[in-house]
């Protein structure tokens, strides 16, 4: 059973107030994800530049070394991308924890939860990403349908002990298996469309605020609609 505030009707003002209360935590998440991503890009570019330098020397050995450097450049970025995404999922997990407990989730609490079961979160992310990618490859609509399940899935992964596959299947059922779930999916879709419009008109700057506000609103809407109990 979540906190009483989770079941109240959602509103932009309530989501905004929750965001303001969590600014230190949200700011840390933004900074850490950006720093990790930048480090990965810099490391990749450095290895690629090394490959270009080696290839300029000529010869088959130089070309082989350049090709190896290019491959390593892509590989070295992979763990940074995974780590950045792992931290970034806190944008959804923090609102879930807030409405579940009714408390303000500080930076220490958020990181403590993240480090508690990192392997579970990584595996859950791999599963979700793989299914979403397949959905988008087959057709845009299945991929979008999978993406709309994410707030419920993250809630179950972070706040319950359900096996990963069970959490995914039950999240999908919760969103698309009932009228209220489908209403929630429509609300979520409209919320993200609004975030997209606001971000486009501000060259992406508004997303720094719009994205976390939307995640608080969506989690509140999920509880209010009974998609999450």
What per-residue confidence (pLDDT) applies to 56? 60
pLDDT class of 170 with cuts at 50, 70, 90: very high
Measure the CA–CA gap between 139 and 120, rounded to whole angstroms: 28
Vertex 99, ends 98 and 100: CA angle to 5°? Answer: 95
Q: In which band, very low, low, confident or very high, does the pLDDT at 46 lie, cut at 50, 70 and 90? A: confident
pLDDT at residue 41 in the model? 83
Q: How many CA atoms lie within 13 A of 114 on its CB side?
A: 22
Write out pLDDT tens, residues 22-42.
999 999 999 999 998 888 888
Model pTM? Answer: 0.88
pLDDT band for position 63 (50/70/90)?
low
d(CA 76, CA 166): 32
Mean pLDDT for all residues in the chain: 87
What is the structure's pLDDT at 57? 54
How many secondary structure helices (H) and strands (E) does the chain include? 11, 0
């Amino acid at each position: 059973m979540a906190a009483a505030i989770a079941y109240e009707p959602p509103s932009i003002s309530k989501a905004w107030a929750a965001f303001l209360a969590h600014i230190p935590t949200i700011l840390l998440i933004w900074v850490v994800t950006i720093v990790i991503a930048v480090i990965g890009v810099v490391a990749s570019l450095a290895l690629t530049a090394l490959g270009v330098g080696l290839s300029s020397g000529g010869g088959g050995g130089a070309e082989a070394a350049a090709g190896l450097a290019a491959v390593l450049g892509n590989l070295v970025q992979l763990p940074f991308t995974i780590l950045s995404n792992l931290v970034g999922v806190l944008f959804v997990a923090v609102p879930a924890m807030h409405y579940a407990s009714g408390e303000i989730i500080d930076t220490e609490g958020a990181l403590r939860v993240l480090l508690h079961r990192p392997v579970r979160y990584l595996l859950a992310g791999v599963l979700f990403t793989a299914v979403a990618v397949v959905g988008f490859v087959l057709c845009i609509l299945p991929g979008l349908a999978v993406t709309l399940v994410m707030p419920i899935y993250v809630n179950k992964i972070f706040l319950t002990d359900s096996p990963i596959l069970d959490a995914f299947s039950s999240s999908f059922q919760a969103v698309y298996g009932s009228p209220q779930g489908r209403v929630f999916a429509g609300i979520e879709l409209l919320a993200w469309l609004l975030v997209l419009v606001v971000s486009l008109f501000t060259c992406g700057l508004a997303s720094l605020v719009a994205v976390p506000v939307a995640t608080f609103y969506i989690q509140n809407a999920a509880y209010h609609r009974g998609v999450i109990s």
